[in-house]
């Protein structure tokens, strides 16, 4: 079976053209093995490009975390899927394309591997939460659930131990835990974000839905630059969070077979 490896600002994915339905999508152990960085291809997640249920959509994106389990929406993964669809001839450069994912329909525009714009689903206003240790954070769902924790210096944060602690906070148990984002405000519309992702159970170099959540908390109604360890993304939103766009690179790394 052939695959292609893509990354969006260091958030990397195995992409497979599964329009013929040949991939064993229920074999979660196989997915986890492929994502393993020592014994497999290695990735933060695996994405199947499948036929959409309705003809008005170009394709369906089925996303699996590195632990092998189906997950909620992935923003960088969505942009990489659009870039992969362009490679397959399903998307024309500069034209909008509609597709479906775990959280419903999306629209995207592929300009080049350096710039793919993805319309995220509308979001609710951030909700203040108090964690088990008394720390205050903010919860948003941007297709995946996210916890925002403002910090003074994100480079000094011990992301893995702190992220693992808050990811399992009891108030998020009903939704399978939460992704944890540590946010440093560099300027009014410039952020630096590091993310601990559930399902990967580690810090990732970038998280599209996490970057989106951080920007919507910090500067709703504006265009925000967000720096991550893997690169820079841009989030634009309306003041009511009804229109949200995530933009940045979605680049092909290599192809292979397994």
H/E element, 251 = strand 251-257
Nearest-5° Cα angle at 122, 119 to 126: 125
Backbone angles phi, psi at 243, to 5 degrees: -125, 120
How far apart CA 79 and CA 250 sit, in angstroms, is 6
> Residue 248, SS3?
strand
Query: Please, are residues 108 and 97 in contact by the beta-carbon 8 Å criterion?
Result: yes
How far apart CA 32 and CA 57 sit, in angstroms, is 28
Pairing of strands 11-17, 2-8: antiparallel
How far apart CA 35 and CA 42 sit, in angstroms, is 4
Catalytic residues: 74, 207
């Amino acid at each position: 079976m052939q695959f292609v490896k893509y990354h969006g600002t260091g958030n990397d994915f195995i992409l497979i053209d599964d329009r013929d339905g040949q991939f064993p999508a229920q074999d979660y152990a196989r997915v986890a093995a492929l994502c393993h960085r020592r014994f497999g291809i290695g990735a933060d997640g695996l994405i199947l490009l499948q036929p959409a249920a309705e003809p008005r959509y170009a394709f369906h994106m089925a996303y699996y975390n590195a632990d092998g389990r189906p997950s909620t929406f992935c923003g960088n993964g969505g942009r990489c899927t659009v870039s992969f669809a362009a490679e397959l001839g399903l998307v024309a450069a500069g034209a909008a394309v509609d597709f479906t994912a775990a959280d419903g329909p999306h629209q995207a525009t592929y300009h080049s591997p350096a710039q793919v714009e993805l319309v995220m689903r509308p979001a609710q206003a951030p909700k203040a939460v108090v964690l088990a240790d008394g720390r205050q954070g903010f919860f948003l769902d941007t297709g995946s659930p996210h916890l925002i924790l403002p910090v003074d210096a994100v480079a000094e944060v011990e992301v893995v131990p702190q992220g693992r602690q808050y990811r399992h906070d009891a108030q998020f148990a009903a939704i399978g835990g939460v992704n944890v984002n540590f946010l440093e405000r560099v300027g009014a519309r410039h952020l630096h974000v590091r993310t601990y992702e559930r399902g990967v159970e580690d810090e990732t170099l970038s998280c599209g839905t996490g970057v989106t959540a951080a920007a919507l908390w910090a500067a709703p109604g504006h265009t925000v630059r967000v720096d991550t360890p893997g690169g820079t993304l841009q989030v634009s939103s309306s003041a009511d969070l009804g229109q949200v766009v995530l933009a940045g690179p979605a680049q092909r790394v290599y192809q292979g077979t397994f």
